[in-house]
Structure formats: C-alpha cells, structure tokens
C-alpha cells in the first residue's frame, strides 16, 4: 500500500473534506462549552523501555534530582510528577511488546489472534477500549465539555501497517484507532474545511459573473432557473462570510512545506505535530490527544542524535554494554525534549477566555510499552506527568510498590470527575485509583 | 344508445356466473359486449361537441367558455346525467354519462389535462443525479488509460507457497470463477496429480481483476475467512477490508462502498494462511490448521451471496471517481426524471459534490495532470490540465474570455498552482455550463454542434460526450440526421447504453425499487428471501440477454416462453435441475409463460402475501405495457379479506369488490387484463385451480379505438400485446421520455408516430429504437415556431 507523497498531501490541504459534514451546515465554533474549566489530557508514547538508572529520580517526595534522561524537563520540575513502581500486570496472549502497547492504555488482555510475536502465543487486538477514549466518551457525552473531534490521535513515524505493535488507542474491543503521523494530513483534518471555504469564497464573483452572462443568453422562461441559482449563490456567499472562517479566533499554523516522513526528519515532524496539537487545544477542537512516536518495537535509526543503530536493536543489548546504555539514554533524553517542548508551548499559550496558560489545564502523560528493553519487563513502566490539568499535586517523585497500572488509568478518569470503579481487567482495580496523587 | 345499454344487461343473465347481478354488469359491460358500446369520445363528439367545441374549447354562439373545472368524474357524471345535453337532459345517463365524463375529464377538463395540453417545449434542464455522477466519473476517467480488458469471467488467482506474495514463492496461476473455498487442513493444490507443490501449513493467494456493479448504491462486501485477509475495491491504495490482524473469533469482515451501476471496478483480494508478525519457526511441528475463504457481497437492497462469476472479470479497469454526495432525488412526477427545477438543497448538494470531486482530483493530481510537485513546469502543466478538464466538463472548447475567467485569473491570484487548481475545479463544477445539459452556445445558434453532441450523449448514455463525439462536433460533422445516426449507432453498443436501457426497463416493470417479497409463511413455507433474490437475478439475466442480443427484440420481452432458473428456483417452480445448478434458461413444460408478463418475480411482486392481485397486475399491463392513464381510486379501499369469502376465488372477490359504478371507470379496464394472469399464484407458480375451483384466466381489453379483444391466459394476452400498436406506441413514448427527459410532444406532433413506425420497420429492436430516438431529438427542429429552443434569444 503506498501513500501519496507528503508534498501531495500539502497540495490536498482543503481538498479532503469529502468525509466531513457539509461545511455550511456546521454549528458555529463558539459554544456552550466555554464556561467551565477546560481540562485536557495528552498521552505521549515512546518505545522500547528506558535505562532505568538514568531515568528515575533516586529520591522520593518533593526534593529530588532529575537524572540524565529527564534533564530536559528541568524547567518544569515543579509541574512534574514521576510515578515509579507502576506495573502492567496484564498477561495472556501476545509477547511483551504487543501486550506492552496493546494493554498500556486499555488495561485488559489481547484477543487471541494470528499475530505472532518473538515469543509467546500469537494475539490479535485489545479486548477493550483505551483510557483516552473512555475519557473522550465521557467528555463528549456532555454538551458542556463536548468538542468537534473529542480526541485526536497524533503520531510521528508510525509504520504504515496496522498490527498489534502499531496501535495504542482503541475505541472499543477490536477497534484500534489509527494515529495520523502525517502533519499535513492532520492539518487537513483540522483546517481542510476552512480552506474549502476560502477557496469557495474566491470563486463566487466569477460564478456570479458567468451566471449573468448565461442568463442573458437564454429565453425568459429558462432564465428563471438561472436567476434562482444566482440567488442561491448569493445566499452561500452570505453564509460563508458569517461562518466559521471568520470566527476561528486564532491563527492557523503555518506548516513548513514538503517535510518527508523519514527518520532523519523526526525532529521536524515532531515539532509540526506538537504545533498542531497546541492549536487544536487553543481552538478547542479536542481535549484529549495522544502522540505516538514510532511503535512498540520501534526501530527508528535516529542518526540526527549520532545513533546509527535502530532503537529496538539497541534496546536488546545488556546492561553492562555502557555504549548502548549511553545511546539509549540519549534517545530517551530526546523524547524528554519533545515532552518539554510541548510543555513549553502549552505554557506559552494563554488559555482562551480564561486566566493562565494551556498547561495550567493540561496533563501530559509520557509513557512506554516496557519498563526496560533488554528484559522486556512490564514492571516499572515509565509514567512521567507534566502540567496541572488534573489537579494532581505536582513537583514530586513518587514511588509505589508494584501497583497495577489499571489503578493509574482509573486515576486519570477520576481526575476528570469520571469516577469509574474499574477500568480494563477488574482484578487489577479492586483497591481503586492510585493514592497520593492529589 | 339507450337500447344498447339495456342490451348489455340482458345477456348477462344467461351467463354461468352465479354472483350478484351488479357484479356482472360492472364487469362485463365492457368485456363481452363492449365493442358495441361507444367510447367516451364518440359520445362527446355526437352529443356535446356541437355546443362545447371539438376539444372543449367552447363556441361563441352556444357555450363560450372552455370546458375546464375541478369537478371529479363522479360529480361530472351526476351533473351530466341530470342536466346534459341542455336541450335533452336525461338522454345521457348511467354508464354512458360516466364514459363521457371520463373522456372530458381526462382530455381537457381537469387541471392535469390542462397541464398536459399546454404546448410542450424543450426546457432548460440540469443534469439528473445519474447524469451528474456519470459525467464526473467519465470526465476524470478521460485522464486515465482504459485499463486492460479480458472476456473471461472470474478473477486471476496467484497461489504462493509462503505467507507472503513474493514472486519467488508463486507456484501457479489460474482463473477462479468465484472465491469460495474450504481448504480444510489441506493444501490448495492437494488434488494435483503430480503432487502438491504447496504445503498445507502456510500459503497465500492473491486474486485480482474487477467487479461489475449492476446497480447504483451501497454495496457491502464480506470476506468470510479464518485467516488474514485484505480486500481493495476501486481505490487500490486503501483497503476496503483490512483483516490482516485476526483477532478474537470474528471470521466475517465487512466493508461498505458506494458504487455507480453499469461499471466495473478494480478489485484485489489477499489471503494468507499463517500467523503474521514474527515468522513462527515451529509452525510445521503442529498439525496444519483449517482454512477457508469466500468473497461475498450484498448488492443494494438485496440479500448476501457469493459474488457470482458473471460479475467478476480478470480485466483491470482504472479506478473510477464515484461521487458519494447525496443529491435530492430528481422529480419523477411525470414518470421520468425531469430536471427543470432547482432547489436550495440541490444547490447545496452541487457545492458539496464540487468540494468532494475537487478533493478527489487533488488527491490524484500528479497522476491526472502528469506532473510532479515542486517542478518548474508544475504551474504550466496544471493550467493545461485545468483547461482540458474545463473543456470536458463544459462539453465545448473554452473561448479566450472563458479561459480568462475560469483558468488564468485563478492561477494569477492564488499563491500556489495547486490551490489555483482547486479553485478552478470548484468553479468549473459549480458552473451552469457544467450543471445544465445545454448552455453556453453562441446566441441564436441552438443547434451548434456541441449542443448536439451533448444531446446525443446524455440521451444515449446519461453522460457527457466522449472524445470522438467532441471531435465530430469540432469538425462540424453533427449537422445532419445521417451524421447523428452514425454516432448513435457507434454509441449504442457501449455498456453505458446497456446500463441506461436496463435501468429504464426496471422502471418500466416497476421494480426499480426493490420490492419486499415477503410471503405468508403458512401458505408458502418454502419461499425465502434468498429465492426472492434469485428471482430478481432471473429477471436481470432475462433483460440483459435481450438487451445484449443482436435483435434486442422488444416482442421477446413479452413472448419468451423460458425463464432463467437456478437449482434452487427450479425445484420450486417445477423444473428439473440439480439443486446446485447455476442460472440457465429453462422452458417450463407444464405451464405457459410469456416473458415479463408472467415472470415469477413480477407475479410475486404484483401480489399480496397470500393471494395474487389481479388489480396490481392489470394496472401494470394497462399503465406500463399499454401506456394507459389511470387515476388513483376515488377512495382508499382495503382489499376484501379472502377468509371473509372463503367460497370466492380471487377473481370473483376482486370483481365483487370493484363492482360499484364509481370503480368501474377504471376497473373495467384493469380487471379483465389482470384476470388473464390468474394462473400465477402469489409466488408466481403456475396453478390450475384455486381453493378447488378451476382457474378462469379469460379476459379482455377494449382498445383506444373502441374494439374489444378477448384473451384466455397469458400467451393470448402476450400475443395481442406484442402485436398491438398501442403497446408499441406506449413503449416508444416511455423510452423517449426515459432517454431524452423532455416531453416528446415538444419535438413535434408527428415524432411519436414516426418513431413507432421506425420501431415496426426495425423489427422492434430496442437498440435501434434508441438510435432513432436520438436521431429524432438531437436536432431540435427549428422551423416550428411554437417550440422554444434552449439557447436562443428571446425577442
């Protein structure tokens, strides 16, 4: 399956509205949902585990030092929360990488299937929906928190293949969501309709002009038809000038054109996606977003960091391979930089219609399918939180003793006021959400 | 006159009919003896015209006003019985008054008659929904190659000995007529006498070719398999079904796609028996799993089935741009699609569709324009592409002025040639030059060659002119009847004509909307939805065969004595075929059949759940075949329940129910026609008796000129209809309207008759009639002053 080139997608901007509801029949973008505080959630995924000793702070509590991997987050240390000791305890079919990503946000087993991993039994898709979608559904159910998209699934360099390793977000059992890893396509999804309107507006004068010419060429009985159409065109013009085009309220991001989807461009692609995400929040298109870098077992060659081997390959090397540990730390540090860049952009962007910044109302959760690459453990999964969206008490390093991650997923829902008493496999939910977060 | 009316009563007493006299009077006054009774027109001319004028226009010296009004026929009858003629009231009563009232009402009195009598003209018309979709598909298709064609049926199948589709692993290739395989735990070439070259543990198959969509609508494709699979239909980039990941126990994988009827779409199906992901090195240590796959579909409004071989082909057509935007339906109040009014909904749909099509073009711009992004010649190439596209859309070359307005201005003002292209597309697709069938000719030149080209192609194909037609227009070679005939003859063999004729026949037979054929399960426990589906297929095969045949003989539609049956239907309808037999033409020995008139699909549709309906059947024959006008019943009537009169046959019951005088003005025509089909029960099976009483299938028809013809059974009826000039004229008129979508009278008062004569002369060839219709309409006669010609200037 080949995709059109990136450049072609830029060309398409404004042209791919076929699947969208008709532009003129949309509700306006100013809403009943602007009164209460707008809480948001971003979940960022990077693959292959981390070098634990260079990742987790040694201390517990509000006095702690960031290790090498997390140093880019230093400016946000007081809005940061690290959760050590949270474990993915879901077992069943599929290898650790598959369960790692497939159960990460769903907290429930994979279905049996035909996807064979490096070991263990083959498996299919997750048997439940993911927490981002659970929260999306909760927000969309209420007019006061409903948004145009409900959630947006971003990606960077996600392989063009749908299997258990490449999907993290699920809208239901057997219903994986495909992340959009092409910024131009995401742009078209967010703003294509506006471009259509702009283009439509630009042709109306010529259309009116030609209608007039033609009307003078036909007999009076037929002319009535063309005159009616002229009236409709005039009405459309009026609707377009009062429609969302003029009411968008913020600048449309200006994307660098022609960035190809290849590993060397990861930094640029990442920035573009982050800009689009910040814009989607500023215009309240969505309050839930995921951002998936590559995929579980992702093997991007990040030469722009001076690392020539693929990430997954490196992650298999033993702990005493210092060179590999160093490179893996560099890679994870780069991911931390991306988290920090998003936090920075959110902190710089004022909350529309309210005090403070977007970061005051947004929680970023950075996570991974494994605790550690070479052991493939699902214990101590990285959960690094930035931002004040859910009123967790930030600026701390927390350590839990091997708690199931389902409890953390429940905490996210509770943070939105969605008080579920279980999420995913109920066996891992018996004692409720994680303590000590708020 | 009065004595004649009495005469109609007296002989009825001698009839063997043992039911109420009133029934018999009503029923038989027009059948057995009707040829002696004068028609409404004859009565009018002899008793009324002297004062009211020959056409009800009035006479200054007697009754100066035109005879128009809003009384119903019943009221008119009452009034005439009481007060007319003015000098001799009481001499035109009863049945005679009823007949003359009906004539007056239908011919000039009622508002519908007045509308009908208004001088007809060719009106400015926009594209119908079908024309819009076809025009867009063909417009974009012009920038793609024709693809490969192949006369075989089925799909090319490549079999691989591994889970991948690598060339080195390919073991053999063949054509599979359908995809429906249960390999069990064996190899797909387990029966190979030279020994299987594919191990049963792991293999893959790729099918490719095309699928033909008979009708327009939503198609649901279903791949039923326990293994990994992917299916592409039309769009070869994005799979319609992606079940590469098998998850849980689901073995049914569906995808829905909107397709335009009468076209083929590229199709590709992949199947891989193996675990996916990391290669399972231990696979051969376990016993091989079972594997099966079938490719099925649900055509619009029909039930699911394995896609039949006749709809699959190894040909590789290019992708088609299918507009999915929904349009408000076309006005069919005249029985054909008139597109002479517009609405806000229509205008919005054209905007939405313009965005959709411009988006589609944008997504395929490199391929369609033959240019690459970011190259120096991009702007020039796109400009040339836009111009060519606009010329195809407008069906004529662009003048410099139009080129400026539609193309150049946008390339000059937009920041980027790609954005300019998008704007051009939107403007072109919103332009009346595209949206209306004929606009944009030079003043006072309504018969310019490009208009003629459009008339020919929309008439013949419901689509825009092709390259050759536009070339003929450019050469000025569409000015004479001979030149037009030559083009029409060239185009009539195209499958777009076939598709248009097929759709017309479905409408003619009143089955264009798939009827619900649920039947009373107690009466017909063996009749299923699947059989209803099969019956539709049987009718389709019959119509397709006649349309595709060299003679395309209209009479065969009425006369053919065979029916297409498969094994399932054969058992039910009393033919001898193996239960799994494919569809084939079968002559039903024990019972008589006559083409569409007794086709079990129509007989089943024109019936109630438990009993036949002579009324529905009679109306079908009267309206569709004979082209008679029938009004809706004066009041809504619930059919008499059979169980209330268990002694009556359906025929008797219908006669009883419609015996009142007010019913008889129409039912005297409807019932005797419908009764001739009484040998066919509610599921279209032949029967000799009903409730132990022998079937009486006698009937009659009183022609427009007042003669009465008698029939016994469907073959009698079919023979009469196939020879009747009324039938021929009705078919000519209906096909004309279906093809041209303008009133036939707008083309001159003689057009219908001369086309009928041509139809007879050409041995009732439907295709030749189509050609004649095009030839008769493409050059709008300019010498008749009463007609207004599109594109001409008003003084």
DSSP labels for A159-174?
-S--SGGG---EEETT
Q: Is the pTM of this model over 0.80?
A: yes
Same domain, B483 and B559: no
Nearest to A207 among B247, B422, B430 (CB): B430
Distance from the A157 Cα atom to the nearest Cα atom in chain B, whole angstroms? 19
Name every residue whose Cβ is closer than 8 Å to that of residue B16 and which is 6 or more positions away in sequence. Answer: none
Is B495 part of any domain? no
The answer to whether the CB of A433 falls within 8 A of the CB of A98 is no
Residue contacts between A and B (CB atoms, under 8 Å): 197
Interface check for A393 against chain B (CB to CB < 8 A): the answer is no
Cβ of residue B124 closer than 8 Å to a chain A Cβ: yes
* Pairwise CB contact (< 8 Å): A220 & B373: no
Indicate the residue among B490, B519, B551 that finishes a domain: B490
- Chain A contacts of B347, Cβ < 8 Å? 229, 232-233, 236
Query: For residue B142, is it within any domain?
Result: no
Instruction: Give the residue from A246, A172, A240, A183 showing the smallest Cα distance to A207.
Output: A240
H-only helix segments in A141-283: 183-215, 220-242, 244-247, 266-282
DSSP string, B515-568: PP----TTT-TT--HHHHHHHHHHHHHHHHHHHHSSS-BHHHHHH--EEEE-HH
For residue B462, give the DSSP letter.
S
Q: Give me B52's structure tokens.
A: 């009211």
Check: CB of residue B639 under 8 Å from CB of residue B608. yes
Residue B180 bridge partners (DSSP): B294
Only one residue has tokens 């699911």, namely B304
Cα A418 from chain centroid (whole Å): 20
Q: Compute chain B's Rg from CA coordinates.
A: 31
**Residue B53 belongs to domain spanning:** 38-118
Phi, then psi, of B737 in degrees rounded to 5: -65, -40
- Sign of the torsion angle spanned by Cα atoms A129, A133, A138, A142: negative
Q: Is residue B751 part of a domain?
A: no
B698: left (phi over 0), alpha (psi -120 to 50) or beta: beta
**In-domain check, residue B472:** yes
Q: Name the nearest CA neighbour of B552 among B593, B491, B498.
A: B498
HSE at residue B620, side-chain half, CA atoms within 13 A, is 25
Identify the DSSP state of B180. Answer: E
Judge whether B174 lies within some domain.
yes
Quote the pLDDT of residue A14. 38
Q: In sequence order, what DSSP letters do the residues of B301-315 get, joined into one string?
A: TS--EEPPGGGEES-
CB contact under 8 A, B359 and A220: no
A220 and chain B: CB distance < 8 Å anywhere? yes
Q: Does B228 touch chain A (CB under 8 A)?
A: yes
What is the enclosing helix (H) or strand (E) of A153?
A: strand A150-156
Quick check: helix, strand or coil at residue B14?
A: helix
Contact at CB, B342 and A125, closer than 8 angstroms: no
CB contact under 8 A, A7 and B324: no
B368/B459 same-domain check: yes
Same domain as B521, residue B394: no
pLDDT score of A21: 32
Which one of B723, B747, B777 terminates a domain? Answer: B723
Same domain, residue pair B308 and B401: no
Specify the 3-state DSSP secondary structure of B419: helix
Q: Which 3 state secondary structure label does DSSP give B225? A: strand
- At A216, the pLDDT band (50, 70, 90 cuts) reads confident
**Same domain, yes or no, for B446 and B525?**
no
Residues B476 and B372 in one domain: yes
In chain A, residues 149-168 whose CB comes closer than 8 Å to chain B = 161-165
Contact across the interface for B359 and A17, Cβ inside 8 Å: yes
pLDDT at A33: 53
Nearest CA in chain B to A167: B245
Q: Are residues B169 and B244 in the same domain?
A: yes
Q: Is the CB of residue B669 less than 8 Å from the CB of residue B30?
A: yes
Distances (CA, A) of B692 to A109, B15, B527, B646, B650: 66, 21, 22, 11, 12
How far is residue B297's CA from residue B90's CA, in Å, rounded to a whole number? Answer: 67
Bridge pairing between strands A362-367 and A40-45 = parallel
Q: Are residues B486 and B517 in the same domain?
A: no
Angle between helical axes of B495-508 and B766-778 (0-180°, round to 10):
100
Q: Is residue B793 part of a domain?
A: no
B449-461 and B495-508 are packed helices; what angle lies between their axes, rounded to 10 degrees? 60
Instruction: Indicate if B198 and B50 belong to the same structural domain.
Output: no
Q: Which residues 63-122 of A are in CB contact (within 8 Å) with B?
A: 110-118, 122
- Nearest 5°: the CA angle B558, B562, B566 is 130
CATH of the domain at B288: 3.90.182.10
| Least confident interval from A111-125, A243-257, B632-646 | A243-257
Q: Give the whole-number percent of chain A exceeding pLDDT 70.
A: 90
CB contact under 8 A, B237 and A164: no
Distance CA B143, CA B467 (A): 11
Residues of B in contact with A196 (CB under 8 A): 355
Tell me if B361 is assigned to some domain: yes
State the total domains in chain B.
Answer: 4
Q: Do A12 and B359 touch (CB under 8 A)?
A: yes
CB-side exposure of B690: number of CA atoms within 13 Å? Answer: 23
DSSP code of residue B196: -
- Separation CA B661–CA B667 (nearest Å): 9
Q: Domains plus CATH for chain A?
A: 1-30+192-254 (no CATH), 39-182+261-428 (3.40.720.10)
Residue reference for tokens 């891989």:
B272
Residue numbers in chain B where pLDDT is lower than 70: 1-36, 115-116, 440-446, 589-591, 781-795
Is B561 in the same domain as B662?
A: yes
Neighbours of B786 (CB within 10 A): 10
Report residue B388 as tokens: 């060519």
Q: What whole-number distance in Å separates Cα of residue B257 and Cα of residue B220? A: 7
> Quick one: B548 and B638 in the same domain?
yes
Which 366-385 residues of chain B touch chain A by CB within 8 A?
366, 373-374
Mean pLDDT of chain A: 88
Domain assignment present for residue B273? The answer is: yes
Helix (H) or strand (E) holding B253: strand B252-259
CB < 8 Å to A209, chain B: 405
Phi then psi for A240, rounded to 5 degrees?
Answer: -65, -35
Instruction: Lowest mean pLDDT of A177-191, A192-206, B99-113, name the range.
Output: B99-113
| A362-387 pLDDT, tens digit each | 999 999 999 999 999 999 999 999 99
Q: Which chain A residues have a beta carbon less than 8 Å from that of B439? A: 214, 217-218
Domain stops at, among B683, B705, B723: B723
H or E stretch covering B183: strand B180-184
- The separation between the first and the last C-alpha atoms of chain B, rounded to the nearest angstrom, is 54
| Burial class of residue A149 (count of CB atoms within 10 Å of its CB; 0-12, 13-18, 19+) | middle
Chain-centre distance for alpha carbon B522: 33
Which of B237, B282, B355, B402 is the best residue to mutate to test the A interface, defined by the most A CB atoms within 10 Å of its own CB? B355
Handedness of CA A16, A19, A25, A31 (dihedral sign): negative
Contacts of B227 in chain A (CB under 8 A): 114
Q: Is B793 in contact with A111 (Cβ distance < 8 A)?
A: no
Check pLDDT > 60 for residue A32: no
Identify the sign of the CA torsion B420, B422, B425, B430: negative
Which 8-state DSSP code applies to residue B35?
G
Check which CATH number belongs to the domain holding B85 and give it: 1.10.760.10
Report chain B residues whose CB lies below 8 A from the CB of A124: 245-248
Q: Could you give the CA distance from residue A106 to residue A164 in angstroms, rounded to a whole number?
A: 13
Nearest to A113 among B247, B414, B443 (CB): B247
Q: How far is CA B751 from CA A228, B352, B733, B773, in A?
A: 33, 39, 10, 9
Nearest CA-CA distance, residue B113 and chain A, Å: 21
A19 touches chain B (CB under 8 A): no
Pair B388, B525 in one domain: no
- Contact between B244 and A232 using a beta-carbon 8 Å cutoff: no
């Amino acid at each position: 399956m080949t995709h059109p080139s990136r450049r072609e997608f830029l060309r398409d901007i404004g042209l791919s509205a076929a699947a969208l509801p008709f532009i003129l029949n949309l509700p306006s973008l100013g809403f009943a949902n602007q009164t209460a505080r707008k809480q948001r959630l971003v979940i960022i995924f990077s693959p292959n585990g981390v070098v634990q000793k260079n990742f987790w702070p040694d201390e517990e509590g509000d006095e702690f030092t960031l290790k090498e991997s997390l140093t880019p987050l230093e400016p946000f240390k007081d809005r940061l929360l690290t959760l050590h000791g949270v474990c993915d305890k879901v077992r069943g079919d599929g290898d650790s990488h598959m369960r790692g990503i497939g159960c990460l946000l769903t907290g429930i087993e994979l279905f049996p299937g035909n996807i064979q991993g490096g070991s263990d039994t083959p498996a299919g898709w997750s048997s439940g929906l993911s927490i981002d979608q659970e929260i999306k559904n909760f927000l969309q159910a209420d007019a006061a928190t409903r948004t145009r998209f409900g959630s947006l699934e971003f990606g960077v360099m996600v392989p063009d293949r749908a299997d258990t390793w490449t999907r993290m977000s699920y809208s239901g059992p057997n219903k994986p969501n495909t992340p959009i890893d092409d910024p131009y396509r995401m742009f078209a999804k967010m703003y294509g309709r506006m471009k259509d309107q702009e283009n439509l507006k630009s042709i109306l004068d010529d259309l009116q002009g030609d209608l007039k010419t033609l009307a003078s060429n036909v007999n009076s009985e037929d002319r009535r038809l063309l005159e009616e159409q002229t009236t409709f065109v005039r009405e459309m013009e009026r609707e377009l000038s009062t429609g969302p085009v003029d009411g968008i309220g913020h600048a449309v991001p200006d994307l660098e054109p022609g960035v190809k989807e290849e590993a060397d461009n990861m930094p640029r692609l990442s920035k573009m996606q982050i800009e689009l995400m910040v814009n989607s929040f500023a215009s309240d298109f969505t309050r839930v977003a995921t951002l998936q870098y590559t995929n579980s077992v992702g093997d991007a060659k990040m030469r722009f960091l001076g690392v020539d081997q693929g990430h997954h390959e490196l992650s298999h090397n033993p702990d005493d391979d210092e060179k590999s540990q160093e490179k893996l730390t560099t890679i994870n540090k780069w991911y931390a930089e991306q988290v920090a860049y998003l936090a920075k952009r959110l902190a710089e962007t004022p909350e529309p219609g309210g005090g403070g910044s977007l970061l005051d109302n947004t929680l970023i959760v950075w996570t991974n399918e494994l605790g550690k690459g070479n052991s493939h453990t699902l214990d101590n999964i990285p959960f690094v939180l930035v931002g004040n969206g859910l009123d967790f008490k930030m600026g701390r390093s927390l350590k839990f003793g091997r708690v199931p991650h389902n409890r953390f997923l429940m905490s996210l829902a509770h943070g939105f006021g969605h008080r579920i008493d279980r999420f995913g496999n109920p066996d891992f939910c018996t004692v409720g959400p994680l303590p000590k977060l708020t | 006159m009065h004595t004649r009316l009495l005469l109609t009563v007296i002989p009825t007493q001698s009839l063997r009919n043992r039911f109420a006299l009133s029934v018999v009077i009503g029923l038989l006054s027009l059948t057995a003896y009707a040829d002696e009774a004068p028609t409404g027109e004859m009565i009018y001319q002899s008793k009324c015209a002297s004062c009211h004028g020959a056409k009800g226009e009035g006479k200054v010296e007697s009754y100066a006003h035109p005879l128009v009004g809003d009384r119903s026929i019943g009221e008119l009858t009452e009034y005439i019985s009481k007060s007319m003629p003015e000098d001799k009231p009481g001499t035109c009563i009863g049945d005679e008054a009823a007949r003359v009232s009906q004539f007056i009402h239908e011919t000039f009195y009622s508002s519908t008659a007045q509308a009908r009598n208004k001088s007809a003209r060719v009106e400015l018309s926009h594209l119908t929904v079908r024309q819009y979709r076809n025009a867009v598909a063909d417009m974009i298709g012009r920038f793609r190659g024709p693809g490969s064609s192949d006369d075989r049926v089925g799909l090319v199948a490549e079999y691989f000995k591994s889970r991948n589709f690598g060339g080195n692993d390919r073991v053999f290739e063949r054509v599979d007529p359908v995809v429906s395989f249960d390999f069990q735990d064996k190899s797909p070439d387990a029966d190979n006498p030279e020994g299987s070259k594919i191990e049963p543990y792991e293999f893959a198959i790729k099918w490719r070719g095309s699928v033909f969509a008979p009708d327009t609508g939503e198609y649901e494709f279903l791949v039923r398999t326990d293994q990994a699979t992917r299916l592409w239909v039309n769009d070869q980039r994005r799979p319609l079904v992606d079940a590469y990941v098998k998850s849980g126990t689901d073995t049914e994988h569906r995808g829905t796609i909107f397709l335009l009827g009468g076209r083929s779409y590229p199709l590709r199906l992949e199947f891989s028996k193996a675990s996916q992901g990391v290669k399972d090195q231990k696979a051969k240590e376990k016993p091989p799993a079972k594997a099966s796959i079938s490719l099925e579909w649900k055509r619009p409004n029909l039930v699911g089935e394995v896609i039949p071989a006749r709809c699959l082909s190894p040909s590789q057509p290019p992708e088609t741009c299918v507009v999915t935007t929904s349009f408000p339906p076309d006005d069919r109040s005249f029985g054909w699609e008139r597109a002479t009014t517009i609405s806000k909904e229509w205008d919005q749909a054209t905007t939405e569709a313009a965005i959709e099509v411009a988006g589609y073009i944008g997504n395929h711009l490199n391929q369609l324009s033959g240019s690459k992004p970011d190259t120096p010649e991009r702007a020039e190439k796109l400009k040339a592409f836009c111009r060519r596209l606009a010329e195809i859309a407008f069906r004529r070359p662009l003048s410099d002025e139009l080129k400026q307005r539609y193309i150049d201005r946008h390339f000059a003002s937009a920041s980027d040639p790609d954005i300019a292209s998008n704007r051009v597309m939107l403007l072109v697709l919103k332009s009346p030059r595209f949206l209306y069938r004929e606009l944009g000719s030079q003043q006072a030149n309504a018969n310019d060659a490009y208009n003629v080209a459009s008339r020919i192609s929309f008439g013949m194909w419901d689509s825009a002119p092709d390259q050759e037609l536009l070339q003929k227009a450019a050469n000025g070679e569409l000015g004479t009847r001979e030149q037009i005939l030559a083009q029409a003859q060239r185009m009539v063999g195209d499958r777009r004509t076939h598709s248009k004729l097929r759709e017309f026949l479905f409408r003619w037979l009143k089955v264009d909307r798939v009827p619900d054929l649920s039947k009373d399960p107690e009466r017909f426990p063996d009749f299923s939805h699947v059989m209803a589906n099969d019956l539709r297929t049987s009718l389709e095969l019959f119509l397709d065969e006649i349309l595709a045949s060299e003679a395309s003989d209209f009479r065969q539609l009425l006369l053919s004595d065979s029916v297409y049956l498969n094994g399932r239907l054969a058992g039910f309808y009393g033919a001898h075929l193996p239960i799994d037999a494919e569809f084939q033409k079968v002559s039903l020995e024990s019972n008589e059949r006559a083409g569409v008139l007794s086709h079990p699909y129509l007989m089943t549709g024109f019936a109630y759940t438990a009993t036949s309906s002579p009324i529905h059947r009679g109306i079908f024959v009267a309206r569709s075949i004979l082209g008679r006008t029938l009004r809706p019943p004066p009041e809504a009537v619930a059919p008499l329940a059979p169980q209330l009169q268990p002694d009556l046959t359906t025929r008797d019951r219908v006669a009883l129910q419609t015996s009142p005088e007010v019913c008889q003005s129409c039912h005297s025509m409807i019932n005797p026609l419908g009764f001739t089909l009484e040998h066919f029960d509610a599921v279209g099976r032949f029967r000799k008796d009903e409730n132990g009483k022998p079937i009486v299938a006698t009937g009659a028809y009183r022609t427009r000129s007042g003669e009465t013809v008698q029939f016994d059974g469907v073959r009698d009826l079919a023979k009469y209809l196939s020879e009747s000039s009324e039938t021929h004229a009705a078919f000519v008129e209906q096909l004309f309207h279906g093809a041209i979508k303008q009133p036939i009278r707008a083309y001159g008062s003689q057009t219908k008759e001369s086309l009928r004569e041509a139809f007879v002369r050409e041995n009732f060839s439907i295709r030749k009639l189509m050609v004649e219709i095009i030839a008769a309409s493409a050059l709008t006669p300019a010498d008749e002053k009463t007609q207004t010609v599109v594109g001409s200037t008003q003084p």
